[in-house]
Structures are given as structure tokens and as C-alpha cells.
Structure 1
């Protein structure tokens, strides 16, 4: 029987990979964006600013942003240290794709990567030039300039797929990442950030698990995410060896409109684990990038199934405009030792 010995949930937004001195690049894009989702409703920037009056003027001052950035880097360092102490034999990374790898010819709701290797391939100059302002500058936080190839774990991935299928989860599989002329040719940024920042570009073998949290119309709903996480924990438990396994969720919390009330509701529901509270959040609140919270839900349900408890829970909202755009940054670790 394999043993889940730890878990991590971590945000991966571009503000974690860029100094506050250039956060204004994303702020400018926010002011032009007409699709800001906040508590189930879509707003343009002016509407969002009015809805959130008096706004967040203090939070976008340089000194405040610098403190928030420093707090986030400290939390990331702590998670990296905690992962090292978990002594994982292999890892499952749960994340999403934002039309980086999978496109409209294939949008799997749930997919387990079964390849022997995991390429992290730098974007070309032409691809970088097409990215929105402030995103290209963050790419170094997702992929080393020279690229990398990380070890997969095909044998364990295949066994997990079989177990999930037995449990009623008809997951897609892929032994290689799709490669299209206009798409990314390696693992997308939700996973690349984890390999770079938490696993220090030297990960043990890993199994990437893709959960579609944001691409309509087949986004995984909350109940399905929770059930999938519990089934994933049982699949690990049923493996025949005695390996040490860590699960990592990448993404979230609320963004690109910070909603501290939503983030706190999610964080409070993690310990003690409260599935009913998570399921009470309207699905419409997960429109936009806040849907990445569902990757957290899957790993939290797995931790509950495995009997682990939280031993670190940090939260830092990072604002970049007075209307409250930015990212709610969360950093959580589960341990057997609590």
C-alpha cells in the first residue's frame, strides 16, 4: 500500500514571479478588460470599481505591494522546505490548462498524464510576444530559460487510471503532450510553476493530473472535484508498493478579481474539512480564473480521505488596481504529523 505522506496547495499567479515594480503592466491590462468576474457577475473595469467602492487605493501603494510580495516569497520558501522534509518518492501534481496545450479540438475534463518524461519547453520569442502585458515577464517562473525535462511515472499513472476507472471516473490519458503550431509544446504553467518554485527544478518522478476548471462547457463542478480527489487518494492507497506520495494542487485562489471573503471561506473549509461549505459556493463564482480553487478542492478531499491535517496555512491578497484586481495568494501544507 502506497502512503500519502503530505500535501500542498499553492497559488501560481504571475504576481508571484514578477517584482511589484512591474505589476502595473497587468494593471493596465485590467483597466481594458471588459470581462472581470466577481461573485458570479461579469463587469468591465469601471463597473467593478463602482461595485467595490471605496476600492483598494491603499493596497496598491508601492510599499504595500512590496510587503505582500515579500510575504508571498516567504510562504513559497516555507512550502519548498516542507516538501523537502516530506521525502516523497513520487508526486501527483493537480493543475489546469488554459488553452496552452489542449485546444478546441480536445478539452478533457479530467486527464492523467502517463508519459515517462515531462518536458518544460521555453516559449519562442514569437509566442512570448503574443502574451498579454506582464505575462511574458513571468515565464521565467514557470520554465527555466534553457528548458527542462522532468521524470514522469508511467507505471503508477497507469495503475491510478485503472483504479479511477473502477471508481467510475472515466479519465482521459495522454502519454505525450499535444504539439500544435500555435500552442505550447511542453507542460503548461500551472505545473511548471510547481516544478520550478516548490520542487526546485529537481522533482522526483511525478504524475500530472489535469482538471478542467475554466474552459466551458465541461468544467468540473465542485461535487465532482471533491469526489475525484477522494477517489485519487484511494487509488494511491491501493497501489501495491510502500512508496511515499505527496499531492500538490496548483492555482487559485480568487483572481483576477481578489475576493477575500471567498478565499477565507475556502481556507476555513479546509480545516476541519467541510465539503458542505465548499459545495455551498455558487458555481457561477468560479467563472474566470477563480475556478482554479477546484484543484485545491480535489487535493483537500484527498487529504481528508488520507487522514492528513493542515500544518501551514498562509494567505496574502495581492492587489494591483483600486478596483481590486489581482490575486488572492494561498499557501497550504498538510502533514501526517499534526
Structure 2
């Protein structure tokens, strides 16, 4: 793939991100629920929850450690800057809704893990992972909009949830939000799926099949997809599937903004970049 084509696809990705950021700014949500996955950024081998919900009153997106930053390649530095601010940023968390979601999913027999305190180590607070940090920086433009992080373990066996379980978990979250919103009229809650689709080897057939199934709420196709297809970065498709479950009981329809197979090499490595809204 030529440099010109790569540049054109990069520009398409940036335009789609700009459109999403502008859409969120126009909608002006009171709360954003971010469904993402943890990649040993917050949770490690000592504990790796299948599903986790953060419910403290605030969350710090930690600044980049300059000593670590200077050891990275330019590409990694750009990625780090897209998720982490130059200085620590503190964001509010709507703990009342977070706890309502926790109560709701437990009532639906999801034994969810809970984080009521931001994790720390000898260096201080552990900043939120890039699944949430990127949303703060690129989509919310660092505005202090209250965010609830919901993290899935899509990457690491043996306790990865199936696609069906993710969809059902999403349905439970959706019910809990609807019930909470009934008692908190006037609150506008936005839902965000962070990550995906296929990577680090692009599979365009898989991407298009999953995007069409998610758009059409075609659970038969989603549930019948072999679990071995959801490996490595491609597992982040389950974040989208969870959000499809959350929105399944609404009248909102998915609008695919763009799908951009973004190759890094002649071997097909890269990422299937997808961008969508539900309206």
C-alpha cells in the first residue's frame, strides 16, 4: 500500500474522529458511559475482572511519565499523547448512576467487580487505560464531562466473556440506565464503545460481518461467530457488542460513519477502524 493511500486513510480516520467529537459536543451529554477493555493498564495478573465498573466520585487521567515517554518510539509517543494529558486531569464520576448500574446488573445475576477507589502503586495513582483516556482527550476534548468507565477483560484468558455474555451484560446495563433515568428526568446519558475492530491483522470480512450484525441487531450472527475470532485486538469488538446490547431496548439506530482498513504493512497488519453513531 502506497504512502499516499496510507495518508488518505489516516485523514479519513481523523475526519471521522472529528465528526464524533463534534457530535458529542452538539448533543452535550450530562454523563458518558464508556465501555472499553483493560490491557494490563489498571488490572494485572493478581486480579483481572471479567466485568468491572468504576464508582468512585472522581477519576484522574494521569499525565505521561516523562522518563517513560522519552524511551518510546515516535509512534508510541503519539499514541500516549492521544490518551494522556501533559498534566494530571481530574474528572467527575456520577457515582449514583454507577451504583445503580451495579445494582441492576447484580440483580440480573452478573457478578460484576467494582472499583470504588482508583488504583495506585509506589509512584502514585495509576492512570486510566487508553480505552477511556482516548475518549477523554480526543472525543471529549478534555472537557470535565462525568464519565463512568466499564471495563471488560476481552484480551486475557481464561476469564474472557463470550460475545453472547457481553451482549446480555449490555442489555442489563441498558435496563439499569433506563430505570435510573426514569427517576432522574432530564439527564442525557451517552454511551461509547471504545476500541476495535480487527487488529493487529486486518480481517475485512469479519469487520463488515460484525458491523452489519451490530447495525441490524442480528444476534444470531453475533452469537454464532466462533470465539477464536475474538483474539488479541479483535476482541475489542466485544466492546461494540456490549454497547449494542445497551442500546437494543431503545429506538436508536446505528449509523456507520466510515470503515477504514488501515494497513501498517504489506502483510496486512494494522487495524480495521470503524466509526458510528446511534441516533
TM-score (norm 2): 0.94
**Which residue is equivalent to 1:253?**
197
Q: Distance in 1 between matches of 2:224 and 2:70?
A: 41
**Structure-2 residue corresponding to 1:41:** none
Unmatched tracts of structure 1, length 5 or more: 1-58
Structure of greater relative contact order (alpha carbons < 8 Å, 6+ residues apart)? 1
Q: Which residue of 1 aligns with 2:94?
A: 153
Instruction: In structure 2, list runs of 5 or more residues that go unmatched.
Output: none
Does structure 1 conserve the Cα–Cα contact (< 8 Å) formed by 2:169 and 2:242? Answer: yes
Counterpart in the other structure of 1:114: 55
Q: How does 1:92-171 map to 2 (within 5 A)?
A: 92-128=33-69, 134-171=75-112
Q: Structure 1 residues 309 and 183, CA, compared in 2 at 3 Å: closer, same or farther?
A: farther
Tell me the equivalent position of 1:267. 211
**Residue 222 of structure 1, CA deviation:** 0.6
Number of equivalences = 276
Residues 1:311 and 2:268 aligned together = no
For residues 195-227 of structure 1, give each alpha carbon's deviation from its aligned partner in whole angstroms, at most 9, with x where no partner exists.
Answer: 111111104211110111111111111111000
Counterpart CA distance in 1 for 2:112 and 2:14 is: 35
User: How far did 1:327 drift?
Assistant: 0.6
- Higher mean C-alpha deviation, range 223-232 or range 78-87: 78-87
In 2, Cα distance between the equivalents of 1:169 and 1:126? 40
Aligned pair 1:241/2:184, yes or no?
yes
Q: Does 1:302 align with 2:243?
A: no
CA contact (8 A) 2:215 2:255 kept: no
- Show CA shifts across 1:47-89 (max 9, x none): xxxxxxxxxxxx2x21011100100011011111111222311
| Structure-2 separation of matches of 1:297 and 1:83 | 21
User: 2:24 aligns to what?
Assistant: 83
Q: State the partner residue of 1:332.
A: 276
Counterparts in 2 of 1:127 and 1:63: CA distance versus 1, 3 Å: same
Secondary structure of 2:261's counterpart equals strand
Asked if the contact 2:64–2:87 (Cα under 8 Å) also holds between the matched residues in 1, the reply is no
**Counterpart-to-counterpart distance in 2, 1:83 and 1:315:** 19
SS in 2 for 1:146: coil
1: CA distance, partners of 2:51 / 2:124: 20
TM-score normalised by length of structure 1? 0.78
- Residues in 2 aligned to 1:271 and 1:154: alpha-carbon distance in whole angstroms: 30
Look up the SS of the partner of 1:134 in the other structure.
Answer: helix
1-side partners of 2:228 and 2:221: how far apart? 15
- Asked if 1:62 is matched to 2:6, the reply is no
**Cα distance change, pair 258–114 in 1 and its aligned pair in 2 (3 A):** same
